Amino acid sequence: MSTLPVIAAVDGSDDSLRALDWALDAARRRAAPLRVAHVRQYAAWGQPDVLVAGAPDPDDDPVLDRARTYLEGLSDRPRVEYVGLEGAPGAVLPELGSAAQLLVLGSRGRGGFASLLLGSNGMAAARDAACPVVVVPRPGREVPSEAPAGPGPRVVVGLHVDSPDEGALAFAFAEAALRGARLQVVAAYQWPLRTWASPGEPILPTVDQDAVENETRALAEGFVAPHRTRHPEVVAEPYVAPGDAAGHLVAASKDADLVVVGRHRRRLSAPARMTGSVTQAVLLHAASPVAVVPPGMLEPAPPEE
């Protein structure tokens, strides 16, 4: 059975070259081929929002030529193929994920991720692709740091103990194993708790904060346990704290190799695909690359020997 490729989406920008670097490293770690894709965008008023037959020749594409030159001379590069496509990138890029292990893009827009919340190509891919999507930020983004993270490589994953995302946990453990990294599992809980007797009349909580934190930690350990069994080589460290999950994940992104978040699950009240507010905030502010994992992802297959 052939190994699915890691796809790097390029557009000739320095952002996309950083994404190409990340994708090249990911392909090496997975013993997977690397596919470099460039989508030539139609004029918005003249063409349909779909991929069409008769894709452009990848040998006659200056953007792909730049990528070829960038990768030339690398002795340990994986098998590389170059693909030229035409259409609206926001529609075409997510479709590439149906035949990929990973889809990797660079951040775009004013201030790094500023355009993502405005329906950009990166957000469309993170929302709609069938595979995990990694968005690589521009360097130098400052984030608050809550505590020293310790030396060595580190992967961070968000865990909502009320609705755990097993796909995101599985992906994060597998990625930590590939990188020989520690895994920091961030589980935030709401505090102070509030209940309401009637409109405008809050009731003070009947439990103390230590009890809530201990329960959150116990739940987190329970969800992490089966993944530890599958990856005994990974040191997983739950980080349990009160407050906003997105804020803790952004703080943890400082000097991290990767932050992993799940994509929002569909609900009856919101059947369309969504990224969720925590995922959007992490994409907007994190200092490290961010992997957005679609719901229902299975444990990634190990690299072929």
The ranges of the chain annotated as CATH 3.40.50.12370 are 154-293
pLDDT at 53: 39
The ranges of the chain annotated as CATH 3.40.50.620 are 6-136
Could you tell me which residue, 140 or 177, shows the higher pLDDT? 177
Above pLDDT 90, what percent of the chain? Answer: 54
For residue 206, give every residue at least 6 positions away whose Cβ sits within 8 Å of its Cβ, in sequence order, or none: none
pLDDT, tens only, 30-81: 999 999 999 987 644 444 444 443 456 667 889 999 999 999 888 888 999 9
pLDDT, tens only, 198-252: 565 655 556 788 999 999 999 999 999 999 999 999 999 999 999 999 999 999 9
Residue range 154-293 forms a domain whose CATH class is alpha beta
> Which contacts of 62-67 are long-range, i.e. CB under 8 A and separated by 24 or more positions?
62/12, 63/10, 63/11, 63/12, 63/38, 64/10, 64/36, 64/38, 66/10, 66/12, 67/8, 67/10, 67/17, 67/20, 67/36, 67/38
CATH number of the domain located at residue range(s) 6-136 in this protein: 3.40.50.620
User: pTM of the predicted model, to two decimals?
Assistant: 0.84
For residue 292, give every residue at least 6 positions away whose Cβ sits within 8 Å of its Cβ, in sequence order, or none: 126, 132, 133, 134, 135, 261, 262, 263, 275, 279, 283
Mean pLDDT for the stretch of residues 262-273: 53
Least confident range from 42-51, 62-71, 185-194, 262-271: namely 42-51
Mean of all residue pLDDT scores within the chain? 83
